[in-house]
Structure 1
Amino acid sequence: MTQSIDTARLFVGGAFRGAAKTVPVIEAATGEVLADGPCATVSDIDDAVAAAHGDAATQWRNATVAERADGLKRFAAALRARGQDTATLVSRENGMPITLSRVVNGVFPSVLVGYYAKLIAGWEAEEARPALVGHTIVRREPVGVVGAITPWNYPQALAIMKIAPALAAGCPVVLKAAPETALDALVFAEAAEEACLPPGVLNVVPGDAAAGAHLVTHPGIDKVAFTGSTNAGRVIGAECGRLIRPVTLELGGKSAAVILDDADLDSTIEGLRTASFVNNGQTCHLSSRILVPNTRYAEFVSAIAELANSLTVGDPLDDATEIGPLVSERQRERVLDYIRIGRESGARLVAGGSVPAGLSRGWFVAPTVFADVDNRDRLAQEEIFGPVITITGYDDDAEAVRLANDTEFGLAGTVWSQDNERATEIARAMHTGSVGVNHYQLDIQSPFGGVKSSGLGRELGPEGLDAYRITKSIYRADPILS
């Protein structure tokens, strides 16, 4: 842990204050208490929203693009200076392998803030358009105060995907981080303070479900941005619909990896190492359903099982570790229950299936592979959020696409082939928000989000900035002056 973080504090109105309520944050690799983290009360949420409507935060909304860009650059620098300590802290909180954490928690936040600082530099708030009568000024304005609710699996990355574009657009933010990763959320507060962001522009109030529910329905919130489970997203979406409140929902997934019959065995298996097992399986866009042509079924089942058995499981702070512990005992029991369901379904267990030998301390599960899985089974239809993947055979490309789309989810997917054009055609036919061809890597300049039960709206890219702006038309009877 970084020495500068007082763990039992909230950040409201530009100042730290003691948290009246705390919850223990458990270290995933040991099962022991790491520290007491803050847990915001309803009153804390009220204060944070009030601060976001304060005079200083309003000045941020009305600031010039250049002024906001300068503030974002200072914020990015402060996050970058803390990056490596933050990466270690997150790995201790949620079990993420440190080599991944250094990128997504240590580097990515500052890079994304810098991206949006640069993106708005050339942004004009108003555009004049000729009209049938006179002309129209199309104006883009901040949507208002944003309630951001984020999960524990990629706590820094998923939070900054909301904070950065919201601040760039001129929107104050109230961040309700997950209690499992309440400690690293305070890094955003430290960085905001060092960057001299105006008081109330960013408020950090980690809390439980009750705090999140109050934030969603608070009359002072103008937009909600949520990443989390589909079940929670349905409740939040229903509330925002009732309130006629804009909402972005990035929810669960059960994405398919479509291996075509011409795929190179070695490069495909190497790609699945991250596409299907990244972050201990605690990843929403994971390619957890692997679809394999029956003509090459035995070969790929054997290779995928060998891959799972070869992954190094252990201490998330060790550079050699590829699979760390799950975030909590509760999550481990959930994953083990799905493994039991798989064993009872008739599917064939070909790798893993238990707690690894010698790792009973902490929340470890061995990388697990089930073959011969019926696509209609729970194992193939429900999001497990652990290192468990399924393999299902298919006869032709049309069946592969049908199986890939036969799910309530539509967040992501991958296609593996030596023919990029053929693979891209398969990708076009998959009903998802994103598809990777021979790899899967989010692009900060391009939109990310889901369809169907995987969510609404998009993050990243210019589209991520648009999510925090509203458009206003000002109709004028006079013509545009040349």
Structure 2
Amino acid sequence: MWKMDRPKNDADALVTYGPGSPERERLLAELERVRKTPLELPCLIGGEKVYTGKTIPLRVPHDATRLLGNAHLAGSRELEAAVENALKAWKDWSTAPWYQRAAVFQRAADMLATVRRTEHIAAIMTNLSKTPFEAEIDLAELVDFWRFNVFYLHEIYQEQPLQGQGEINRFDWRPLEGFIVAVTPFNFYSIAGNLPTAPAMCGNVVLWKPAKSVLYANYLIMELLLEAGLPPGVVNYVPFSSADGATVLRHPLLSGLHFTGSYATFLTLWQTIGSSVEHYRSFPRVVGETGGKDFIFAHASADPIALGANLLRGGFELQGQKCSAASRAYVPESLWSNVEEYLRREVPLISMGPVEDLGNTMGAVIDEEAFRKIKGYLDYARNHPEEYTLLLGGGCDDRKGWFVEPTVIRTSNPRGKLMTEEIFGPVITVYVYPDDAYEETLRLCDATTEYALTGAVFAGDRAAIATAECLLRHAAGNFYINDKPTGAVVGRQPFGGSRHSGTNDKAGFWNNLTRWLSPRNIKETTVPATNWRRPFLG
């Protein structure tokens, strides 16, 4: 086994696409090419393109009149073929030397970081309505996932048991027996690429169900993996409906579920698996990250300008469609006037529109369903003026795309609907608390929701930081001090939460990979015993 150095984060070398740069010109040309070439996107089963005839149109979120292409969906017949191809591929893939498997993802990472970068950035921007900056950090995160997961896998394989006199002990880090289902979300291209490939890197085979709204960008990931040398059938790209998926989840050779999405969907999938547990060859591994009701909590010693700036970045970037996005804020009375003044000055400067216009700060939310959900919360706030005061934004416009203005709402009820439920949009609800109720309000923050994904505390007082870190210990799996609760970097802030936010098997870290491995301990005795009698027998 060779020595492997810890990778450097691609996220530290983002392309800026500054005015006049050649990267900007290449990106604009690629965006125009995407505009002119709608695609017919098949399933990919056993490395082969499969056109099922059951299609859905893919619309651009910030221009719903624009067709990106049509995507073919898998039905029960295609899922049966995918399982068959996966299990066939498992025989060779599960026994291949780990470095041969890893080489596929190292090549894919290098291709994505260089020759395929502009193409994929344009796809992310168009399909997910991300600005160039948001698209860059998304792509860089997938590059980091692939590079760091190889590094962590190298470290895991070197982890071996202790030796004793007259014996040789070793771990055989086996993949799981069967196939894994990866269910991926719409909001992060990087997560979509990581969920099927982390288990595959460990020697497993996968059925990948991408979110229907982002099939264009996700399809490019699958094409890239095949181009990088991923053997046919190791990952099968099969967007399918929930009804068809139940059969797959009850298959006796299901060995695991890797999921990111809503709490309600994760609960349903886990219940489906639980109801069939006696039929499986092995107990399936269930790994999931769901949602959050993420907080920013300010102490009276916080810098109000830093607090305001991070409220905007944490709450409104990617239109608030991050499971880590700041959605509720707790601000002391002594700071509120300065913070409110900052927000009133800065929020109107946030420009919203098509992301192909590189002067825009925000794009649109992903689809009509998301638009209606967010609008419903804003209508609720307007209809309950005794509880909510709309300070900024609140406008919704679906005439061309699905646009929701960055919105700040103040509430008098810290346990109300907008402080407890996940909105998944550019809406921040603020509760202003008495300065002398710091610890009491920290406990309130901890107890307000069932989620525990991300959170942040802003303070200059070190004792206040220590108190928040203690009282909010279980309120967030990723906890930030004087920073927004978004933007985790692979290897530096392994990501995941607990409670109703998921199983906290940190994505992009070694402990996530161990979930996709089943170690076999092998003991070899060098000089076998030749007498069965123990010494005490004489």
User: Is TM > 0.5 for Structure 1 vs Structure 2?
Assistant: yes
Partner deviation per Cα, 1:184-210 (whole Å, 9 max, x = no partner): 121122112211211111211123333
Tell me how far apart the structure 1 counterparts of residues 517 and 199 of structure 2 sit (CA, whole Å).
Answer: 9
Q: How does 1:170-181 map to 2 (within 5 A)?
A: 170-181=203-214
How far apart are residue 312 of structure 1 and its match?
1.3
Structure-1 residue corresponding to 2:102: 69
Structure-2 residue corresponding to 1:209: 242
Q: How does 1:184-333 map to 2 (within 5 A)?
A: 184-242=217-275, 243=277, 244-333=283-372
Q: Which amino acid aligns with 1:438?
A: N
Q: Which amino acid aligns with 1:463?
A: N
Structure-2 residue corresponding to 1:36: 70
User: Would you say the 8 A contact 2:41–2:71 is kept in 1?
Assistant: yes
C-alpha change, 1:64 and 1:421, in structure 2 (3 Å) is farther
TM-score normalised to structure 1 length: 0.91
How far apart are residue 277 of structure 1 and its match?
1.4
2:80 maps to 1:46: yes
How far apart are residue 478 of structure 1 and its match?
6.4
Structure-2 residue corresponding to 1:463: 511
Quick one: which of 471, 493, 500 aligns to 1:453?
A: 500
| Unaligned residue ranges in structure 2 (runs of 5+) | 1-32, 278-282, 529-538
How far apart are residue 286 of structure 1 and its match?
1.0
User: Would you say the 8 A contact 1:79–1:187 is kept in 2?
Assistant: no
User: Would you say the 8 A contact 1:96–1:316 is kept in 2?
Assistant: yes
How far apart are residue 428 of structure 1 and its match?
4.0
Aligned residue for 2:451, secondary structure, equals coil
User: Would you say the 8 A contact 2:196–2:258 is kept in 1?
Assistant: no
Quick one: which of 431, 436, 449 aligns to 2:480?
A: 436
Structure-1 residue corresponding to 2:51: 18
2:124 maps to 1:90: yes
Percentage identity across paired residues of the two chains: 24
Structure 1 or 2, whichever has the larger Rg, is 2
C-alpha change, 1:352 and 1:112, in structure 2 (3 Å) is same
Q: Which amino acid aligns with 1:281?
A: G
Tell me how far apart the structure 1 counterparts of residues 314 and 527 of structure 2 sit (CA, whole Å).
Answer: 55
Structure-1 residue corresponding to 2:91: 58
Tell me how far apart the structure 2 counterparts of residues 372 and 124 of structure 1 sit (CA, whole Å).
Answer: 52
Tell me how far apart the structure 2 counterparts of residues 288 and 27 of structure 1 sit (CA, whole Å).
Answer: 25
Tell me how far apart the structure 2 counterparts of residues 401 and 131 of structure 1 sit (CA, whole Å).
Answer: 51
2:456 maps to 1:414: yes
Structure-1 residue corresponding to 2:414: 375
Partner deviation per Cα, 1:418-475 (whole Å, 9 max, x = no partner): 3467435413432221111222431311432111111114122112212211233446
C-alpha change, 1:386 and 1:125, in structure 2 (3 Å) is same
C-alpha change, 1:134 and 1:40, in structure 2 (3 Å) is same
2:429 maps to 1:390: yes
Aligned residue for 1:350, secondary structure, equals strand
2:392 maps to 1:351: yes
User: Would you say the 8 A contact 1:305–1:369 is kept in 2?
Assistant: no
C-alpha change, 1:135 and 1:6, in structure 2 (3 Å) is same
Tell me how far apart the structure 1 counterparts of residues 410 and 102 of structure 2 sit (CA, whole Å).
Answer: 51
Q: Which moved more, 1:282-291 or 1:214-223?
A: 214-223
Partner deviation per Cα, 1:115-135 (whole Å, 9 max, x = no partner): 222333344267233579967
| Unaligned residue ranges in structure 1 (runs of 5+) | none
User: Would you say the 8 A contact 2:38–2:69 is kept in 1?
Assistant: no
Partner deviation per Cα, 1:218-242 (whole Å, 9 max, x = no partner): 3332100111111111111222333
Q: How does 1:108-147 map to 2 (within 5 A)?
A: 108-124=141-157, 127-129=160-162, 137-144=170-177, 145-147=179-181
Q: Which amino acid aligns with 1:64?
A: P
User: Would you say the 8 A contact 2:71–2:215 is kept in 1?
Assistant: yes
How far apart are residue 296 of structure 1 and its match?
1.8
Tell me how far apart the structure 2 counterparts of residues 479 and 394 of structure 1 sit (CA, whole Å).
Answer: 72
Q: Which moved more, 1:360-369 or 1:295-304?
A: 295-304
User: Would you say the 8 A contact 1:447–1:462 is kept in 2?
Assistant: no
